[in-house]
Structure 1
Amino acid sequence: MKKPTLVLLPPHDPDTDGWRDRLERAVPELVVLRPRTRQEAAHALEEADAAYGTLPADLLEHAGRLRWLQAPQAGPPPGFYHPALVAHPVRVTNMRDTYTDHVAAHTLALVLALARDLPRYVRDQAGARWEPDWDPGSVLSLGEAGALVVGVGAVGAEVGRLLAAFGTRVTGVDARRGGPVPGFAEVLPADALDRLLPEADLVILTVPHTPATEGLLDARRLALAKPGAYVVNIGRGPTVRLDDLAAALAEGRLAGAALDVFETEPLPADHPLWERPDVLITPHVAGVGPHAEERRFAVLLENARRFVGGQELINLVDKSEWY
């Protein structure tokens, strides 16, 4: 019987250079190909049963036998789930829960920085200015604050657990998850968002970019937010309308924001958010941390074993919802 074939699609991340040999040693029932060019990839896909990477429509046309596609990220970039891929019978899995600890730690770092007004002090340091602010209202007491976590997946759940350790009352909204979650006072359906926004001192978005979450936090919803609230986005950039956020900050309706992801990346150098003293910006680095590539390989390996064994794959995606 012919062995199933998995194609590692270009372009290749240098950290994955040894994956072909490692997969074939660990799963001898599988043939692994690593084409270097799009032309070679198109040829390899004609006989492929599975693939790892991004599969645009022009390459998908060659994948008549494809039954499984492993996405290289937890939330692939816009355009990954194009209409042809959604319509194709191929099953897609992603890398969710591989960076949970790193992203949650980064989120807490952003929250603590906002709560203690660190963005302003960092700017003061750069200018050698000694200007302490002794106003008690200049800080957010996490033990007296309410946080709304938008998206209670692996990352959102961990963020809520960590915030609860500071005494924060944490509420979540999620399209799929309900019931008790450690650290959360309650987790409600996604349609409760508008009702909960006016009550939250911290609004933390961890949701993926999907048709339902694109532009989720726009001018209308920012107008619903509690005056003086803080917004933190570590999910995906298209979920927050940056111009609307900048306007809300300029009008003084929000106390500040911290962003790791943006509608346009890199954030344009002339965007007003760069200049605001109440905004903290990090360049999409929340997932950075040790062991990330090994964790991604572990997901690919586990699914490769399951695929050749005819077992259910882990991290399956609803392609119509992009996650």
Structure 2
Amino acid sequence: MASSFLPPNAGRPNSQLCNDVLLVQMPIEVPAQWKKKIETKYPGIEIRSRVLRLELGLEANKIEPELWKGVTLACLYLTHPEELMSNVRFLQLTSAGVDRWIHHERYKSLDVAISTASGIHCPQIAEWVMSTWLMRNHNLLRHIESQKEGTWSTVRAETRDSAGMRVGILGYGSVGRQCARLATAMGMEVYAFTRTPYTADKKAKSDHYSIPGMGDPQGELPSRWFHGESKDAVNEFLRQDLDLLVLCLPLTTATEYLLGAEQFDILAEGTKRTFISNVARGKLIRTEALIDALHKGKIRGAAVDVTDPEPLPESHPLFSAPNVVITPHVSWQSVNNWNRMLDILEINLDRLDKGKELINIPDRKLGY
């Protein structure tokens, strides 16, 4: 038999993704340079895309059935009918949470590899937390009102700097870790609360996407760790005389309405009045209890980027409650999000091709 001079892999694809079709729906056009890089890296892969425009409503963002034909890899925010997605074996979510997907058959199927966007929002959300905290401590809203009135205010309200204060972070994921980094830079002491304990062998490491120079990848910043799955464990954390309490928890059946009248009463028992920041989900807090706590001075104030209900109806009593800053779920927004999202997608395509475990894998039983 004649000897062959062909390389061992000749005639066979070098990539495991050569027969895959990737469908991407994001708020930007997929950059031509990124698309070319992926097509060069994985010869034979086909990339399709649609721009997501949430301001137009869900109906306008439906992807036509023709575009779904043959799709095996998808990068999405919105859910789509199971019959259109039946061939999808890899699902890259463009959200950090999975609550929109937990009832979808693709999410339930263990044959489908799933990854979230955890980590892409941490710089801007942490900046939102700290900017609203500083705005309150430095009375900036009062000074802005004086400017609008054209007056030079001579009122000297109490101003506080953050050095020596204590922040408690409920949920020490990527956002919580970046909040800890910023708080530490301002001289604050960090307490962290997680569902499970961080033992010496685990070393509190995060296996999620991390922007270089951001967060706390090794879990080194908290001076004290707390953990637990019960209300009693959370209540004990709330008794730690916190100046600032940041909610970074996912919304699950276990965390729904985690803070209610009982928890605000506990905060009121401390020697300090706590300022609460919620950048997670509105249903972590019972709104009527928050309003009551603000009116009665049980807490120093609150900054909420998420509410229950959301959006807040016109003239809702939370709007007129004292010492509260409300923004319409915008803390996650940044023009840098989508380049980071494409970074995660590229990392996971490489891992999928090599048969390695993805990054940002959610726990489907826990729902985050």
SS at match of 2:223: strand
8 Å contact from structure 1 (residues 4, 48) kept in 2: no
Q: Is 2:23 aligned against 1:13?
A: no
Aligned length: 317
Match of residue 87, structure 2, among 65, 83, 87: 65
Structure 2 unaligned residues grouped into runs of 5+: 1-12, 52-60, 205-218
What does residue range 166-205 of structure 1 map to in structure 2 within 5 Å? 166-176=186-196, 178=198, 181-191=219-229, 192-198=233-239, 199-205=241-247
| Structure 2 Cα separation of the partners of residues 3 and 27 of structure 1 | 6
Which residue of 2 is the match for residue 118 of structure 1?
A: 140
Larger helix share, 1 or 2: 1
Which residue of 2 is the match for residue 224 of structure 1?
A: 266
Q: Deviation per CA, 1:97-126, whole angstroms, max 9, x where unpaired?
A: 112222222221111112223233333433
Q: How many percent of aligned residue pairs carry the same amino acid?
A: 26
Cα offset, 1:206, TM superposition: 1.6
Match of residue 238, structure 1, among 283, 286, 290: 283
| Structure 1 Cα separation of the partners of residues 83 and 256 of structure 2 | 28
Residue identity in the other structure for 1:87:
K
Q: Deviation per CA, 1:251-303, whole angstroms, max 9, x where unpaired?
A: 22111111222234433331223234511223323233353211111111121
Change (3 A) 1:6 1:217: farther
Cα offset, 1:86, TM superposition: 4.1
SS at match of 2:169: strand
| Structure 2 Cα separation of the partners of residues 25 and 267 of structure 1 | 47
What does residue range 199-214 of structure 1 map to in structure 2 within 5 Å? 199-214=241-256
What is the TM-score with the length of structure 2 in the denominator? Answer: 0.75
Match of residue 312, structure 1, among 357, 362, 367: 357
Give every structure 1 segment of 4 or more consecutive aligned residues whose post-TM-superposition deviation is greater than 6 Å. Answer: none
What does residue range 1-323 of structure 1 map to in structure 2 within 5 Å? 3-8=18-23, 12-16=26-30, 18=32, 23-34=38-49, 38=62, 40-41=64-65, 45=68, 47-54=70-77, 56=79, 59-75=81-97, 78-82=99-103, 84-89=105-110, 90-128=112-150, 130-134=152-156, 138-176=158-196, 178=198, 181-191=219-229, 192-198=233-239, 199-226=241-268, 228-323=273-368
8 Å contact from structure 1 (residues 5, 33) kept in 2: no
Change (3 A) 1:39 1:171: closer
| Structure 2 Cα separation of the partners of residues 60 and 7 of structure 1 | 17
Change (3 A) 1:124 1:176: farther
Q: Deviation per CA, 1:168-194, whole angstroms, max 9, x where unpaired?
A: 221010124625633311122144321
| Structure 1 Cα separation of the partners of residues 317 and 41 of structure 2 | 51
Q: Deviation per CA, 1:167-225, whole angstroms, max 9, x where unpaired?
A: 22210101246256333111221443211213212111122223322222223322221
What is the TM-score with the length of structure 1 in the denominator? Answer: 0.85
| Structure 1 Cα separation of the partners of residues 94 and 311 of structure 2 | 20
Q: Which entry has the higher C-alpha Rg, 1 or 2?
A: 2
Change (3 A) 1:133 1:81: farther
8 Å contact from structure 2 (residues 137, 160) kept in 1: yes
Change (3 A) 1:39 1:167: closer
SS at match of 1:313: coil
